[in-house]
Each structure stands twice: as C-alpha cells, then as structure tokens.
C-alpha cells in the first residue's frame, strides 16, 4: 500500500468539500447554515463485526455513510458532510482503497454531502472505519426518542426483515436469486428528507432490531408499546418464509427503516408526507414503564429470547 499522505491526496482529497481545506489541515472549518441547529452523529464499521473482509469495498463505504445518514433521517435532519477515519492493516491494497473511495463518491453524489476531513492510521489486525456526520435541522424540530405519548400510533416505513434474510443469503444460508435481500443488507436506503417535524412525536431508525429500537423509544418516553406481528410489513421475498423467520425479522435490525410515534389525528398527514414510500401502522403506545409487547393474529402475546442486537 502507498504511504499515508499519498493515499489521502490520491483517494480522499478529490472527495473533499471546501470546508475540508483540501484535507491539508488539522480540522475542517464551516459556516453553520444561518438559523439552523447542527446535528452530529457518528457510526463505526469494524471488520468481522459489521462487515466481512471479502465484502466489496465500495459497498462497505456506502453502508458506512448510509448508517450515519439514517441516523440523521431519524432526527429529521439533512446532511452537510462528514469526517472519516480509517485504521487499515498493511495488507489492504491500493485497489481496495480506490474502490472504497469510489463508493464514497457515489453516495456523496446520491445524498448531497462532502468529505470535510478525517484521520488515517495503521492497524495491526482488523479494518476499522468511522464516519462522523454533520447535518442541520430547523431549530427545535429535531425528532427525538423521548416524545412518544400514550395513544400515539406506531408506524414504520418500508418493509422489515429484508436485511436479516439478506445477511443469511450473503452467508450462503438461503437462496436470493433476485439479489433483492442481499442488496437490502449491503446497501440500505436512509429515509432522508421526509417532512415529519410537525407529524411524528418520536422517531428512531431500525438498526438494532425492531423490538429493541421500539424499546428505546418506550424507555426514553416512559410508555409501553403494543404491536401486532401480523401487521409488520414484509417484502414478498420475506413473506415466502412465513412465520419461520418472524423472530429474525423483528429482532435483527439493519433495515434502516424509520419507526415513528404519530398521534392518530396526524395519520393522514403522515401518509401524505411519505407519499412515495410504503408506510404501515403496526400498533400503538399506551401508558407504561418502557415495555414492548408483540401479539400474534389470535391476540396471543409472543415471547422472544432477545429483542435485538447488542454489543455483549
């Protein structure tokens, strides 16, 4: 691999916005958009934890950006740009880096953001990547996890469980002829740009698992949630597996769909705001202490061994 400074110049400097000062400085400098609040989020991807060494570098890059963009979407924020850190073992080739940078470039264009700066380091073993995103939002309108109220309905965008099954397909555990599930796992779509500020009382993106992320809203808001397993929307590729994959799709996450708390009188406004997107009511919040209940079609409460992904 070429040395640190040539790598920055060759692969990363072309991705930089003016705020990045050509990636020649210690930091980025930016004028905050007038009258807006700044939103900051950070996510990392570690080899053998979040991706596999043989995954395509451009897909790794794009998922790193999209995981962060999804966090901005969950706050109702728009992206400005990002800082990137890489810690790479010496075995990583220049070709890997070229493809990685190509992936960054593709998603910078798709989502309208630039590279503002970063840090590069060597690593003894695993590839370790971190992106810090800077976004902005109208003052006081950031969506939070703690705003759900008893009586609010629970809505989700898109379909749930595609990524859980896509991961199995990538591991050769199930067939995915159309590659739909595989792509949903490799290249999730952050639900940016939905005008949810005066509609949703709370929001989160589904990264850890539907039940766990719903639990985060419940605990932050001090309410309980009741959802119906039969209402959780699935793609036709997931529907084939029926209830055999119910636990996987409710607990494994990685879908990066939005989970929203919406007062019943705002339901029509929600549907209008998500005009181009599937949006489905799956249950409601009620008074409580942070619990999540799942009912099957017969109204029976289902139990799951764990609600979602946690690091240890």
Query: Interface residues with a second copy (CB under 8 A)?
Result: 1-5, 21-22, 24-32, 37-44, 46-50, 71-72, 74-75, 77, 83, 85, 87-88, 90, 116-126, 128, 130, 132, 134-135, 137, 139, 142, 144-146, 204-205, 216, 219-220, 310-312
- Closer of 123 and 295 to a second copy (Cβ): 123
Q: Cα separation of 201 and 229, whole Å?
A: 23
DSSP string over 70-107: HHHHHTT-EEEEEEEEEEE-TT--HHHHHHHHHHHHHH
CB of 37 to a second copy, least distance (A): 5
- Closer of 125 and 278 to a second copy (Cβ): 125
CB of 116 to a second copy, least distance (A): 6
Q: Cα separation of 20 and 80, whole Å?
A: 12
CB of 92 to a second copy, least distance (A): 9
The separation between CA 178 and the C-alpha centre of its own chain, rounded to angstroms, equals 23
Q: Are 72 and 192 in contact (CB under 8 A)?
A: yes
Burial class (CB in 10 A: 0-12, 13-18, 19+), 82: buried
290 φ, ψ (degrees, to nearest 5): 105, 15
Dig out the tokens for 17 from the structure. Answer: 């916005």
- Closer of 4 and 296 to a second copy (Cβ): 4
- Closer of 90 and 244 to a second copy (Cβ): 90
CB of 22 to a second copy, least distance (A): 8
- Closer of 175 and 305 to a second copy (Cβ): 305
């Amino acid at each position: 691999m070429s040395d640190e400074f040539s790598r920055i110049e060759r692969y990363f400097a072309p991705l930089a916005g003016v705020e990045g000062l050509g990636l020649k400085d210690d930091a980025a400098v930016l004028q905050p958009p007038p009258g807006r609040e700044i939103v900051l989020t950070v996510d990392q991807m570690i080899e053998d934890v979040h991706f596999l060494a043989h995954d395509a570098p451009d897909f790794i890059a794009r998922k790193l950006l999209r995981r962060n963009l999804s966090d901005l979407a969950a706050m109702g924020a728009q992206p400005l740009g990002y800082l990137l850190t890489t810690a790479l073992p010496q075995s990583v080739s220049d070709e890997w880096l070229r493809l990685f940078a190509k992936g960054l470039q593709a998603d910078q264009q798709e989502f309208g953001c630039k590279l503002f700066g970063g840090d590069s380091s060597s690593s003894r073993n695993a590839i370790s990547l971190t992106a810090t995103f800077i976004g902005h939002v109208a003052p006081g309108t950031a969506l939070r996890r703690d705003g759900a109220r008893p009586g609010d309905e629970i809505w989700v965008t898109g379909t749930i469980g595609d990524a859980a099954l896509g991961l199995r397909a990538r591991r050769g555990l199930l067939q995915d002829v159309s590659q739909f599930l595989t792509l949903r796992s490799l290249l999730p779509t952050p639900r940016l740009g939905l005008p949810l500020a005066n509609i949703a009382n709370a929001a989160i993106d589904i990264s850890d698992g539907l039940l766990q992320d719903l639990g985060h809203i419940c605990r932050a808001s001090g309410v309980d949630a009741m959802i119906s397993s039969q209402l959780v929307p699935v793609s036709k590729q997931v529907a084939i597996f029926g209830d055999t994959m119910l636990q996987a799709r409710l607990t494994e996450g990685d879908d990066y769909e939005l989970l929203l708390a919406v007062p019943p009188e705002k339901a029509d406004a929600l549907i209008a705001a998500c005009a181009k997107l599937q949006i489905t009511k799956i249950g409601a919040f009620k008074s409580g202490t942070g619990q999540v209940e799942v009912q099957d079609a017969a109204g029976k409460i289902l139990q799951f061994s764990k609600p979602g992904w946690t690091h240890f």
